[in-house]
A and B are shown apart, each in its own frame.
Chain A
């Protein structure tokens, strides 16, 4: 996997998120799910967003797609896509923006297929609705799409329950890239799948990306998978980005103790068996400051080793 993209140069970023703050407003108190987060994704770049459940990574994805519902509210910041302000789009603009410009594959995407329609009907639907093709032409293109993800086009007549989980996930990915979006958001695309199938689907996404040239926002908690697939990545904790750099840099020299803990959570497959620590139960980082650059392109939130708060930990 070579990092040969032009994302670090002068190229205009496809997606630019600046100082994004999202709050969940309650009756008595509100929670800040995403706190002053900034990042950008270049053309053809795979950008990874790592973090554990509840750190705000899915909230960011939903903000970009403008899918946030009450009580979530974007309190501050801007999201621009190809120079356009996403937050100011009207409903009509959004309809075109979603799927044509940005497509998203959800975690349980394979369950988002309609069980009473055949795969072919659902795929042809995209073309008749969004591109205005005739039914015949739409079906022809749907068959091409299936071939793209290496499913036999004869499966167009199958219902979702007749396909395996991996095939359904492939079909959904094919549908996501149907209209050649310039950004694909993958929110934990393979967590529900077996390891063997997972790797093949990731390789396929990689191939598609090379072929069609879209950018990817890849969200997962699996650091090994992310390092293998992304060019650049950011690690999130409690709504803040604690570290961002090239994936290889984060792998070789993780700067923040939380990143180190995440890296240490995956035992290696080779070499001697060494005891790993992970993150001790109850350790909390609080008041994470803004990022500072420790090496070219490598940003880490400064931390004080003493200040990591141990809460409720049995030490």
Chain B
């Protein structure tokens, strides 16, 4: 692929502040009629930190709230409570009503559906040029010459592994993988610090998925971009992300270094997810009895593996975090005894139980 390494224009002033920090984020949606006061809690007290140049995966089933979290962080949705810190600045306080251009130039999103996110009447060049013009990133200076813009456009295309002459193509002339690469190039055009990628590969053909994941890894390695990778595919989270956070019913229940988390899942929900991934290497490992036990533990667990540990006290009222294994793995699990008060219904509770 490309050998042009785009040098980071922004020097890291303080490497200690995380690129993105989410504190106590909550979001409720109104349900029912106009005068109804019923709400559904989609997110509850979510804390998540993404370090500089770090890729964090957020995994969970559909309806677990992972896309809501991304939409709140991208300011497409107004959070009900909590704070979002970009570079240590609380953006919800700074730009109270909507996202500012400065915010957008630091945080970009890549969506799931590359067939829907690119306007079919424009050429590829239009999408990229628009990003450059709006954010004043035309050339090396604030306002570049046409030649510089042209150079930058070609550079962007090479970075994402596309040929420069595809700038003249319309979206329908490209394959799904190529379209998603254009969407990534569009996000890159504004030179963001953080990219939120919401299921960027789930609509793509299987054989090109790895290519897109590799591209994201390359961008992190070469440009130091931090990423939040949202997915339901645990195997790809393990492949791409440094750390993985598991979301269940609007809350993060477990988080840790990806390899360690998937090798030693501590929360029953994580165990359930891990055991459900098809893997030919352990074909025939499906065990209905074990499955029923895990479900039971997810829906109403009565014991916590840290019960009686004097170093890490359990609590049914507060969402205590227990540390799992080596502190270096930064692996923690929420206390199983904790019962959040009002939770939305979850798919698992309505599914029929497998026979025991």
Give A residues with C-beta under 8 Å from B. Answer: 1-2, 52-53, 149-152, 164-167, 170, 194-200, 203-204, 221-225, 227-228, 247, 251, 258, 261-262, 264-270, 273, 275-281, 312, 314-315
Contacts and interface: CB of A to CB of B under 8 A. Distances in A.
Most buried by A among B61, B178, B207, B348: B207
Interface stretch (B65-73, B134-142, B157-165, B304-312): B157-165
Interface of B: 1-2, 61-62, 157-158, 161-163, 166, 175, 177-178, 181, 205-211, 214, 232-236, 238-239, 259, 262-263, 272-281, 283-284, 286, 288, 291, 347-348, 350-355
B236 A267 contact: yes
A266 B354 contact: no
B350 A164 contact: yes
Contacts of A151: 352
A281 B283 contact: no
B235 A268 contact: yes
A55 to B, nearest CB: 10
Given A151-B352, A269-B277, A276-B239, 10 more contacts: A2-B284, A152-B352, A198-B278, A199-B278, A224-B277, A228-B280, A264-B210, A270-B263, A273-B259, A314-B2
B206 A221 contact: yes
A229 B62 CA distance: 24
Contacts of B355: 150
Nearest to B59: A195
Contacts of B62: 194
Contact of B206 (A167, A197, A222, A227): A222
A228 B278 contact: yes
B223 to A, nearest CB: 18
Given A224-B280, A273-B239, A281-B178, A195 B232 contact: yes
Contacts of A204: 354
Contacts of A2: 284
**Closest A-B pairs by Cβ, 10 of them:** A278-B210, A267-B239, A279-B207, A227-B280, A224-B278, A1-B284, A225-B278, A52-B205, A194-B61, A196-B276
A276 B283 contact: no
Contacts of A166: 347, 351
A200 B209 CA distance: 25
Nearest to B355: A150
A196 B352 contact: no
B352 A261 contact: no
B206 A203 contact: no
A23 B140 CA distance: 53
B208 A314 contact: no
A279 B158 CA distance: 18
15 contacts: A52-B205, A150-B353, A167-B352, A195-B232, A196-B273, A199-B275, A203-B286, A221-B205, A225-B278, A265-B210, A267-B238, A269-B234, A278-B211, A279-B207, A312-B163
Contacts of A228: 278-280, 283-284
A200 B291 contact: yes
A281 B177 contact: yes
B180 to A, nearest CB: 10
Most buried by A among B2, B352, B355: B352
A273 B281 CA distance: 16
Contact of B283 (A1, A164, A262): A1
Contacts of B288: 203
A168 to B, nearest CB: 11
A150 B208 contact: no
A263 to B, nearest CB: 9
Contacts of A53: 205
A196 B348 contact: yes
Given A53-B205, A314-B163, A269 B286 contact: no
A227 B283 contact: yes
A269 B279 contact: yes
A266 B279 CA distance: 9
A269 B262 contact: yes
A113 to B, nearest CB: 16
Contacts of A200: 291, 351, 354
Nearest to B298: A196
Nearest to B174: A312
Nearest to A197: B351
A164 B239 contact: no
Most buried by B among A150, A261, A269: A269
B163 to A, nearest CB: 5
Contacts of A278: 207-211, 214
A90 B248 CA distance: 53
A95 B310 CA distance: 70
A267 B205 CA distance: 15
A265 B277 CA distance: 14
A270 B279 CA distance: 10
Contact of B279 (A150, A268, A280): A268
A198 B273 CA distance: 11
A200 B1 CA distance: 41
A224 B207 CA distance: 13
Contacts of B281: 268-270
Given A1-B283, A195-B273, A52 B347 contact: no
A170 B207 contact: no
Most buried by A among B62, B178, B210: B210
B167 to A, nearest CB: 13
A277 B354 CA distance: 38
Contacts of A164: 347, 350-351
A270 B275 CA distance: 12
A290 B114 CA distance: 36
Nearest to B262: A269
A224 B279 contact: yes
Nearest to A195: B276
B210 A197 contact: no
